[in-house]
Amino acid sequence: MIAEAVDPAAEVAERLWRAYAPYRRGRGTAGDLDAMLAILVLAAFAEDEGRPEGDFVKRWKRASAEAAAGFSPVTDLRGALQEAARHPGFPLLWSADLDLGSGPDDGAWMTAFVAELDRGPGFREVAVADVCELLLQRHAAEGALPGGEFYTPRGVADLLVDLADPRSGDRIMDPACGVGSVLAAAARHLAERGSVGDNSFEAYAVDRSNVRPAMLNLALHGVSVPQVELADPATLLRDRNLGRVDRVLSNPPFNQQIDGWGARQFIAPPESSANFAWLQLAWSQLKEGGIAAVVMPARAAWAGGAEARIRREMVALGAVLAVIALPAHLFAGTNIAVHVWVLGRGRRSRPAHRSDSVILVDARSVGGRSSERPRVLSGEDIDRIADRFRLWFGTSEEVDEPGFSRSIPYAELIENAGNLDPRTYLRTEGGPGEAADLSAMLADFERRNRETSELGAELAQIVGAQDQLAQDGTRCQNLLLKDVMSGGATVGGRPVRLLAGPSGSLVRAQDYVEAGGVPVVMPKDISGIGFIEDGIKCISEQHAERLDRFRLHRGDIVVARRGDLGRCAVVGEEQQGWVCGTGCFVITPPSTVDSHYLAAFLRSPGAREWLDTHATGSLALRTISLEVLGMLPVTLPDLDTQRSIGEAMTSFDAHERRLLEQLATTRDIRSKALNSLLRR
């Protein structure tokens, strides 16, 4: 039997993570990623460029020897970095704030990390850029740092690059670079085809904490002396010359509120949602013939109001080349499904034979997935999508593939109010004589059963860890919910909220719209494990803007105020910008409270019983007031324990969703099996 080959970079990254992971708990970890990547930069430079007699090489080797003996290497690591930065080939400009071991507890994990790094064989035989990428992926997957704009999965980043196809000598920009994942993918793409050195990389971070890791990540991918600046879309439009780059590649933050947007030559997007600010920014930065590939939430393709006007304007201008729907579960920590928009500027960016059409691709079914881990786009998936776009772009051949891709003329887009959602145009209906492929369905069903069993085993381990935590004892505060919410700010700096939804006079029955719009969450739209989108009602974007104080943000908790009390759900990326409805409360917890823990507590039997006891109304429809909710006693352990419990409960929710999906699949198989048998 031939053993399955192990990726050497994955093996090294796994060893490094295991060395680091025990030191995460009970300490601030905000600077750990910066330090890890700086150590990788130093180790790689010492291996590739350093001479044995060089001072920085000696200090690096001494740091490694100290770590191997169990002593802190921090002092020598700092000295080695400073001395290496004086070397003409060092890929970074030394900065005083690129420090190592500044925290009181950093020495312990750095000792374990450096000792493992120097324990061969392994590190010297692998591409350090691949190790860097895998560590970033692990940070995102383990929740060590926030997802979203922080980290773009490698498959998604590679797809953006393949669609835009940067060439040697191009100026490449990412206006919301996170930790540089997309530009790093561009560097890999160029390195495979020649040299990275001929290209200019322009990176801007929305979050200050992303500046240093992005710079280090790009350096590890061969970008010489990368510069990453702090900026936002409004600043870039005001302060920079437009129309200067060949490629824009980006996965910007979704649905954030923007300030200081200058409308000028653009249509101003809703203040509560910057999605079209990013799209207009990407297009405006392109020179004639330039291409942009940008990740967007799915609703940007069909949302109404101001966003629909911008979308129609972009189509009329010929700015939109393609929209590609990707599957859910690609990003760690969220099940949001995204689209990729491909934009072009000027006639040179659009072939003459496609002057009045857009290609739409529905790739929601691609990507392999194991258990509840994020879905992964394989090389074959990326090639299939990118090849379809290249065929549309480079030839006049037929590109329509039923259920997967279609070239849509502008006239049809206009008939559909500028809707660019691939699902609208690529729906397929099975004919009465179409045979169901039951063997394939059953094989997929068996695979899902195995994954569910694996997830069950993971849950057993989680329960065991929580049980040990309980046995070790945890100190808890007992506070009223109103006192928990009495001060401080959120992680994102927004005000803490404990707020009842708008009155019925603010959202009337006639205010709901038939298609598109902004969803309004009512009690019926909340389940024990999340939000129910089927049947949710929507209002126009203009109406939602008037209800800005009731709009939802990631990490908020929406609580039902009537019916099944204690029902609540945590807002994720996909619900960002929705509106809290009349029959609900919205909680925006302070930074000292984990949203998933608080939601789990609100759903607990004890909290439900307390709420029911203090509710009013009939037995058929119990109701609570905001005052009563504020008096709810809350058990609050330390933040690390909250996160641990919240992650455990989130895993149980995911397991329940999977079981419900399997039940629906079972019913679907039964129905199709009967239809197949009756047709014989």
Instruction: State pLDDT tens for residues 448-499.
Output: 666 566 556 555 555 555 455 555 556 778 889 988 887 666 656 678 889 9
Weakest mean pLDDT among 49-53, 131-135, 582-586: 49-53
Model confidence at 342: pLDDT above 70: yes
Predicted confidence (pLDDT) at residue 126 exceeds the cutoff of 60: yes
User: Around Cβ 619, how many Cβ atoms within 10 Å?
Assistant: 6
Helix (H) or strand (E) holding 444: helix 438-472
Rounded Cα gap, residues 325 and 92, in angstroms: 37
Residue 654 φ/ψ, nearest 5 degrees: -65, -40
* Residue, of 508 and 255, whose pLDDT is higher: 508
Bridge partners (DSSP) of residue 558 are 569, 586
2 or 674: which carries more pLDDT confidence?
Answer: 674
Residue 157 clears pLDDT 90, i.e. is over it: yes
Whether 433 has a pLDDT exceeding 50, the answer reads no
Residue 230's DSSP bridge partners are: 205
Arithmetic mean of pLDDT, 277-297: 92
Taking residues 534-539, what's their average pLDDT? Answer: 85
User: CB pairs under 8 A, 24+ apart, for 312-317?
Assistant: 312/414, 312/417, 312/418, 313/267, 314/279, 314/280, 314/283, 314/343, 315/358, 315/410, 315/413, 315/414, 315/418, 315/420, 316/410
Higher pLDDT, 200 or 463: 200
Q: What pLDDT shows up at residue 120?
A: 63
Per residue in 210-268, pLDDT tens?
888 999 999 999 888 888 888 877 778 776 567 889 999 999 987 666 666 554 455 66
- Per-residue confidence (pLDDT) for residue 2, from 0 to 100: 43
Report the pLDDT value the prediction gives residue 3, as an integer from 0 to 100.
43
Residue type, 49: E
Residue 138 CA to residue 15 CA, distance in Å, equals 12
Range from 12-16, 146-150, 363-367, 598-602 carrying the lowest mean pLDDT: 146-150
Contacts of 306 (CB under 8 A, 6+ apart): 267, 268, 269, 270, 276, 541, 542
Q: Which residues, 6 or more positions from 378, have their beta carbon under 8 angstroms from its beta carbon?
A: 155, 367, 368
Q: What is the mean pLDDT of the chain?
A: 81
pLDDT at 390: 93
Q: Higher model confidence: residue 97 or residue 413?
A: 413
pTM: 0.68
Question: What pLDDT does 432 receive?
Answer: 40
CB under 8 Å, gap of 24 or more: what pairs does 461-464 form?
462/647, 462/648, 462/651, 463/648
Identify the bridge partners of residue 360 per DSSP, sorted by sequence position.
323, 406
Rounded CA-CA distance 46/43 in Å is: 5
- Under DSSP, the state recorded for 87 is S
What is the structure's pLDDT at 4? 46
Mean pLDDT of the region 125-131? 83
Q: Which token pair is 202?
A: 């322009």
- Which of 285-299, 496-510, 556-570, 635-649 is least confident? 635-649
**What residues have CB less than 8 Å from 667, skipping those under 6 apart?**
none
- Please give the single-letter amino acid code of residue 321: L
pLDDT beyond 70 at 206: yes
Flag whether pLDDT at 604 surpasses 60.
yes
Residue 656 vs residue 421, higher pLDDT: 421
Report percent pLDDT > 70 for the chain.
78
Q: What is the pLDDT of residue 411?
A: 85
| Strands 200-205 and 228-230, bridge-based pairing | parallel
Helix (H, G, I), strand (E, B) or coil at 385: helix
**DSSP 3-state of 585:** strand
The model's confidence at residue 1, banded by pLDDT at 50, 70 and 90, is very low
Q: Is 119 exposed, middle or buried (0-12, 13-18, 19+ CB in 10 A)?
A: middle
Residue 424 is predicted with a pLDDT of 84
pLDDT higher at 449 or 637: 637
619 pLDDT above the threshold of 80: no
pLDDT of residue 171: 94
User: For 51, how many CA atoms within 13 A lie in the half-sphere containing its CB?
Assistant: 4
How high is the pLDDT of residue 203? 92
| Of 367 and 515, more confident | 367
Q: What is the DSSP letter of 145?
A: S
